[in-house]
Amino acid sequence: MIRRWWLRLIGPLDLPLLYITLTLALVALVILGSASPERLPAQCFNLFAAFAIMRFMAQVPPQRLAHFALPIYIVGVLLLVAVALFGDISKGARRWLNLGFMRIQPSELLKIAMPLMLAWYFQTREPMIRFRDYLFAGLILLVPVALIAKQPDLGTAILVFAAGFYVIFFAGLSWKVMLAMALAAGAAAPFAWARLHDYQRARIITLFDPESDPLGKGFHIIQSTIAIGSGGFFGKGWGQGTQAQLEFIPERHTDFIFAVMSEEFGMIGNLALLVIYFLLIGRGLMIASNAPTLFTRLLAGAITMIFFTYAFVNMGMVSGILPVVGVPLPFISYGGTALVTLCIGVGILMSVHKNRMLVQK
């Protein structure tokens, strides 16, 4: 009976993706149980809700997602404009929209809406994609990214930009064009620096010299790197990390949870986590390569690479090789919003795999 119930539950789900995601969820609960045990009940609820949404998305055919790509994108951009005009200000940032009965963060919607929109756009231009199509796609991408960066929310802006850029890259953007864009970005760096907020410039400065402000902007990086280094090869053991247990690590249950894991499980634990992420990304790219249409290939490829971006940016900032931009460790950090977004992505990958035999008409 239990087996029959389990088979009904996982019916529309891709088993490799499901087991990988469940493994990450289990790791998350173990680490959170040490970093912030009082938040375990709330995170269990977040996981239940996120997995329910993932299962629902796995049953939505990709063709139906394509039909809603443009409306979702337009609604997302309009909500970002509403945030800029009427949004609530918290800690110096205007990121939330108060609907009266609840508050929403529209920028999260764009993490999924952006690859959906651009994948749909390039499908409408198939089979002859011209250079002007890439330019227009860039405009589609930059409008919401600029609105999110204005809030300011650099971490989410980076993730939304990455989600759109991956679609454009997989659609066949020339390496020469990307090189020219990189050179142009380098030339524009001094002007971009002048437009950064003070706290954003401080984060970049402390990246290179955290000791310049050890009790202020450099505190996060200093404490997290101490935790990572003190964990050594085997770690200090679950619940035995002094940096975490004595609360030296800031945001140890969210953005800096990787530092807690590094201290308590050492390099062995980190390598195991990297293997799980490698399996997740590998499975996603396999689904993308076997997708039957341009839309599903671009969408699945971009979503998979977003998982990579989440993990790379978070581990990079916690390790002190990237600025602190407030990006959670995927499926591990405490919180419901990012977890739901990630599970929607996994559900879309499952849907693409489930419908891989369908032929575009």
The string of DSSP codes covering 145-167 is HHHHHTTT-HHHHHHHHHHHHHH
In sequence order, which ranges of 196-236 are alpha helices (DSSP H)? 198-208, 219-231
Residue written as token pair 């407030």: 326
Nearest to 257 by CA among 339, 327, 154, 342: 327
Region at 204 (left for phi over 0; alpha for psi -120 to 50; beta for the rest): alpha
- Which H helix or E strand runs over 10? none
Residue written as token pair 């405009």: 139
- Per the CB < 8 A criterion, the answer to whether 252 and 280 are in contact is no
The string of DSSP codes covering 256-270 is THHHHHHHHHHHHHH
How far apart CA 110 and CA 325 sit, in angstroms, is 18
How far apart CA 278 and CA 247 sit, in angstroms, is 31
Per-residue pLDDT of the chain (361 residues; tens, 9 = 90+): 566 665 566 666 888 999 999 999 999 999 999 998 899 999 999 999 999 999 999 999 998 999 999 999 999 999 999 998 887 777 667 888 877 766 778 888 899 999 999 999 999 988 888 889 999 999 999 999 999 988 888 889 999 999 999 999 999 888 888 888 788 877 877 777 777 767 667 767 776 667 667 766 778 788 899 999 988 899 998 988 888 888 888 888 999 999 999 999 999 999 999 999 999 999 999 999 999 999 999 999 999 999 999 999 999 999 988 888 889 999 999 988 889 999 999 999 999 998 876 544 4
To the question of pTM greater than 0.85 for the whole model, the response is yes
Looking only at the bridges linking them, the beta strands covering 93-98 and 88-90 are: antiparallel
Residue written as token pair 């090789």: 321
